[in-house]
Each structure stands twice: as C-alpha cells, then as structure tokens.
Structure 1
Amino acid sequence: MNWKRCTVTVLLIALLSACGDRSQGDGAADGDNTHDADAGDGSTHVESQEHAQAPEQTRIVAQTAQAAGIRVAIAGPGVIADEHEVQGLLTPVEGRAAKVMARFPGPIRALHANVGDRVRAGQPLAIIESNLSLSDYAVPAPLSGVILARNATVGAVADEAMPLFEVADLSELWVDLHIFGSDAQHIAAGVPVAVTRMSDGVTAETTLERVLPSTATASQSTVARATIRNLDGLWRPGSAVKARVTVDRQSVELVVPLTALQTADGEDVVYVRRGDVYFTRPVKVGRRDAARAEILSGLKAGEQVVVEQSFLIKADIEKSSAEHEH
C-alpha cells in the first residue's frame, strides 16, 4: 500500500471517528449502572464487566457511510465454484499462419510490407525478378493477417527455400494451458475458462476445447487448449497468460463476497447493518472460491452485510474498543 492510499485510509477512519455515533448495544448503559450500584467496593468486578462489554458495534450515519464508500448487500444463496488457477501461452491458430516463399529464384526488387503491418489475402508483398524469365513477378500474401517477420531485403537474392515473410491471422488465438499433477484429472473439455492478460489484467471468457493427449516435454505438464477472440488486437502470440478453469459449480444456501470477510480475535467475522448501526458477527466459513465464501452459521439470509470497505468498520470498532479499555 503506497503513502497516498494510507493517507486516504487514515482520513476515512478519521471521518468515521468524527461523524460516527458509536453505541455499545441495547441496554449496555443500564447494565453498567446496575453493576455500579451492586458492586460497592468491588471495583475489580466492575472493571471486569466493563471489559467484557467492550463495543462490538458502531453507529455511522448514512451520509458518512456513503462518503467513506461503505456498501452493503443482502446475504442470500449463491454458487461456489471449484476453480483451478493455471498458467498458459498464446499461440497462433494452426492453419492461420503461413510463411511466404518466392516461386522462382531471383533478386528482390521491392518490398511492400514490414513487421506489424496488416495485409489482406492477395496483396503484393514483394517484387522479384525471375532468373528464369528475367521478368518481374509479385509475391502475394497467402492470407489476411499481420506480418510477424520479414527476412528479406531489397537487392538480396531470393531462392525457393527462403521464407520472405511470416504472416498470421491473429483475430483468434489458441491458449495452451499447462496443467500439473492431479489437477489434470479434474479438467476436461467443455468447462469455462477465464483468461487474463498479465500486461493489463484484461480478461477474456472462453471454453476449454480439448485436453491434448501428449505431455509438454520441457515442463512435463498436460496441455489443455482453448480459443479466444483477439477483439482489441492486444493479445499477442508468445505472451504468457494466467487462467482460471472452473471444473464445477455448487449451489449453497448462503454466500457473501470475500470482501465482506474480516478477522477479529482470531475468528472470521462479517459486519451486519441495521439502520445506522453496524454489528460484528462471528461466522463459520465453508467453501470458498476466487470471489465468494459459503457461510455455514452466524448469519441469516436477508441480513444486510457490508461488502465494500468492511475494514473501515473493523478499524472503527477496534478504535472504540481500545478507548473503552482505557
């Protein structure tokens, strides 16, 4: 976390402290008065009771909560996915890449394309003077796509075995995912895959098409293949990607986003809102995936749970508890 984010967090917590009207719960004040009246000289007993009643809630008016970015959502049923995080590599689709060769040997008189240029099928890429006829002929692009490599220079002599250009249709790319160990037993064709670019975090949704029968020699991994559409042209062959393969989905009775979960006194908690009051609620967590967690106990469907900026609620309650203890 950089200093700017730290500053914003401190300011938000200060905003909550200044505007939030904290409460120790219904009947808390009456309980303290009762203990004061009954304790007599038993001050140790009173201090023990006060410590046990340290605040586990805070009151924050709606305007302050909105300014701090605090957002709640209704807890309810959902789906927990069995997901596997894997790495992969982008490659051109087989049959959509070609090497452009000279038909007849001879000196290269002109070149009409360079690396990165988009070309259409039949477009002249080079002019060569044939050694056989001593006349010029054009070398066309065999398909529409992007020039990946140019191995020719004007004045050089082209022969029939020399690739002048490499061109590929990159409108779609293969994603070869490397699956290791026991994960390969759970992944099969037809399951959803979310592929993420490492350069900027953009994600493309697709479906796993096949699991290749052979093993990658270098890594000894099983290769699973999917195809993605290169809509923005920024998915590039040879680039490493990460992917999330979903092998199963299970419906559960109660889920919350992972952003709702915090840890207090060594246990998982969420923060439930009633009106302007936010309560600490210890919960038992079941299965999790990349975005959600199953709640087994401690929370009921229909309750309003803080799902954004829950750490601010935690910080405000902990500050209140520290002030109470002193």
Structure 2
Amino acid sequence: MDDSPRPNNWPMMIGIAAVAGLAGFGASYVVGTGTKPAPAPATAPDKTGPVEVRIPAAYLASAGIAVEPVGSGGPSAEIAAPATVTSTPTGEAVVVARASGTITRVNHRLGDPVRAGEVLALVDSLDAASMSADRSVAAAKADLARKTYARESGLYRQGVTPRQDMEAAQSALAVANAEAQRASAIARAAGVAGNGRSVVVVAPISGRITAGAAMLGAFVQPQAELFRIADAGAVQVEAAVPAADARRIMPGDTATIISGRGAPIDATVRSVTPTVAGATQAATVILIPTTGAGQFIAGEGVQVRIRVRGDGSAVSLTVPEDAVQNIDGRDVLFVRTATGFVARPVLVGTRSGGIAQIVSGIRAGERVATRNAFLVKADMIKSAGEEEE
C-alpha cells in the first residue's frame, strides 16, 4: 500500500459504496505529492487543499454532464420550463398529389436527403392529360388570334377594312392570351410533366424525407399526402410557461436550452403568445437557437431557462438547482478545471423554480457541472474511497 501523504481527503460515510456505483468510466482522484502518514480518521479530515476528480471531455458528452457558467441575477431572474423542439413554419413541408392518378415512379424513400425542386415521384393522371390538352388548345387559339389581329391591323392601315374589325380582332387576341395564361398556370400548378400525361411530385424545400406514403402502383386522390420533408437546421423550441411568468418575458430575452445530450445551447426569445392553453394554463414562448440548431430533432423534449431582463430583483449568483450537490452535509458546486472538476463549498440561498441562489463561494462566469452533476459527485466519492484503502 502506498504510504505517500495527501493534503486532502473527503470524509467517508457508511454506505458510500452504493453511491460510488453511480460513478463511471474511471475518473481519477488527484492529490498532492509527498510522504503519506497513516490515513486520518473520517471524522477529522485534512482540508488544506482542493479535491479534483479527473473526467475526460469525451466522458462528459457520453454521460450527458452539462457544464455552464454561473449566472448573475436574482432567483426570479431565470424561469425554468419544459419545452419541445418543433420545426419552423418553413422548416417542414407536406408534399401532396396535385391530381388523381396512379403512381408510376418513386424516386426517393424515407430518410433520403432531397433538394428543393427535385422530383420525388410521378403520377399518371387523366386530369393531367386533360390539363395538358386544355393548355395546347388555348395556346393554339391565342396563336390564331394573334395572326388574325396582325392581318386586320394591316388591312385597317391600308384602308381596306373599318376600324371596328381591327378592334374586334384586338379584343379577341386579349381574350385568347388570357385563356392561354390560365390554362398554362393550371397545368404548372398541378405539375403536369412534359409528356402531357403525368403529374410530377416535387420537393418544395431541401431536407430529409421524414414520412413517405407513396407506393408504386397505388391510386391517389388530389391533395393526398405522399411525403413529408424536414430541414434539420430549421427548428424552434416551444416552452410552456405559467401565465404569471409569461408576463415577465419579452422578445429578445436570452435563454439556455438543455437537451438530454450534448452541451447547453444559447437561444433568444422570439415571441410569447398572448393567450394560455385551457388545460395547462400556460403560455407558449418561442425560442430560436442561436447556434447548434442541427443538434436538435423535431419532437424531442428539452428544458429551457429564460433570463428575464429588468425584473428589479437583487443581483446575486444563480445556478440550476441540480448543480448543487451535498457532500458530507455541505453544499458544493463542481467547478470545471482543465482536466476535471474541483468541489467548491458554497452557501446556498433561496431555491425557486429549479434555480438556486448562491450567496458565496463562487464567482460569476465560473463554469460548473449542472445536468447530471451527481455523476461527478459519485466519481469523487468513489475515488476518495479508493485512496482510503
């Protein structure tokens, strides 16, 4: 057994082995150097130096341990709320058939990336044939009316025909052109293909196919949904906030989005609904991620913390309540270092809405473990136990 000294040791309590079982992936306990006397009793530990638990950065991501800076402002300056990631109005599209018919080609399947304007499928349709014929007839009538007007205009200038004949031909040309434009617009809106018998199903946005009901040989009706496309980067977050708190939130307020994986993402409040839902009595706050929007998946649940400006509360330091851990009866925060975390004893004030006020022991801007901070605690206790052996 190593007899080198160590200037610091956390008191051990009965049953820490059960807590240590939560630790993961071999975090190590860093102590000073020198000669070690016999271990001190657990009731009188030496606390002359910091205790650090080394945790690789890769483990933070895999274990879902979030690291965030300590914020400033009273506990009421932050509002914590559950939220859901959704697509923006232009970030998701429903693709439908524009005419009835039989699907004769399917170019893409579920999960495929597509570009705006790309053909997803073809539908053979009698409606398409009819629209194509109407377009051709209208174009032929417009061409005839154009020639008639040119002839009548020439005869009028020569004094052969009266003015009213030229004006009648001019009016007929305007009507024929309008009819040709109408037929062409209908065919274009329906997506009539160049062969005159099919309707093309086109992607309106770039993204990935998230739903696909198109099946080769199936008969579809107009407006039947064939595909859904979503742009992974075009997402927003909808938070459900109680009416009392929603009144304090203004567009432009900053926020933090915390998902079950990855680092917290900064966001900005875009808008707040002026009404509340009947069942939940909560208003909807729309937040736009400022970076890292591609990390989210539409439909996933997240947590948000909205920082309210100018609420008049006393300035203090705040952290998420789950960042505060208790070791041997003392509240601590785990401050991030270059290689791991150091347990910092702090004095906690009020706790409200998932936010804890820190009276002393920490400085604004220092980065601390927040989500899953208990895993850091477990690693530290486990490492302390191994040193004690």
TM-score (norm. length: structure 2): 0.51
Query: For the residues of structure 2 that align with 1:99 and 1:256, how far apart are their CA atoms?
Result: 42
- In structure 1, the partner of 2:282 is 221
DSSP 3-state at the match of 1:125: strand
User: Does residue 131 in structure 1 map to residue 118 in structure 2?
Assistant: no
Query: For the residues of structure 1 that align with 2:32 and 2:39, how far apart are their CA atoms?
Result: 13
- In structure 2, the partner of 1:191 is 253
Q: Which amino acid aligns with 2:72?
A: V
Query: For the residues of structure 1 that align with 2:362 and 2:228, how far apart are their CA atoms?
Result: 61
Q: Which amino acid aligns with 1:175?
A: V
Query: For the residues of structure 2 that align with 1:215 and 1:124, how far apart are their CA atoms?
Result: 42
Query: For the residues of structure 1 that align with 2:275 and 2:293, how far apart are their CA atoms?
Result: 32
Higher relative contact order at CA 8 Å, sep ≥6: structure 1 or structure 2? Answer: 2
Q: 1:22 to 1:257 in 2, by over 3 A?
A: farther
Shift of 1:149: 1.4
User: Does residue 171 in structure 1 map to residue 233 in structure 2?
Assistant: yes
Query: For the residues of structure 2 that align with 1:117 and 1:6, how far apart are their CA atoms?
Result: 37
2:243 and 2:276 in contact (8 A); partners too: no
Runs of 5+ in structure 1 lacking a partner? 24-53, 70-76, 271-280, 302-306, 317-326
1:79 and 1:251 in contact (8 A); partners too: no
DSSP 3-state at the match of 1:207: strand
- In structure 1, the partner of 2:23 is 5
DSSP 3-state at the match of 2:23: helix
Aligned residues with identical type, % of pairs:
25
- In structure 2, the partner of 1:88 is 83
Shift of 1:103: 2.5
More strand by share: 1
The superposition leaves residues 47-77 of structure 1 with CA deviations (integer Å, 9 ceiling, x where unpaired) of xxxxxxx9685446x9xx66x65xxxxxxx9
Structure 1 vs Structure 2 CA RMSD: 4.8
Query: For the residues of structure 2 that align with 1:212 and 1:131, how far apart are their CA atoms?
Result: 46
Query: For the residues of structure 2 that align with 1:112 and 1:178, how far apart are their CA atoms?
Result: 40
Shift of 1:244: 1.0
Shift of 1:97: 2.5
Pick from 32, 52, 72 the counterpart of residue 79 of structure 1. Answer: 72
Query: For the residues of structure 1 that align with 2:264 and 2:306, how far apart are their CA atoms?
Result: 13
2:87 and 2:235 in contact (8 A); partners too: yes
Query: For the residues of structure 2 that align with 1:257 and 1:97, how far apart are their CA atoms?
Result: 33
- In structure 1, the partner of 2:264 is 203
DSSP 3-state at the match of 2:126: coil
Shift of 1:181: 4.7
> Which protein is bigger by CA-based radius of gyration?
2
User: Does residue 247 in structure 1 map to residue 308 in structure 2?
Assistant: yes
User: Does residue 108 in structure 1 map to residue 103 in structure 2?
Assistant: yes
Shift of 1:231: 4.3
Query: For the residues of structure 2 that align with 1:123 and 1:89, how far apart are their CA atoms?
Result: 30
Runs of 5+ in structure 2 lacking a partner? 1-18, 55-69, 130-195, 334-343, 364-368, 385-389
1:172 and 1:227 in contact (8 A); partners too: no
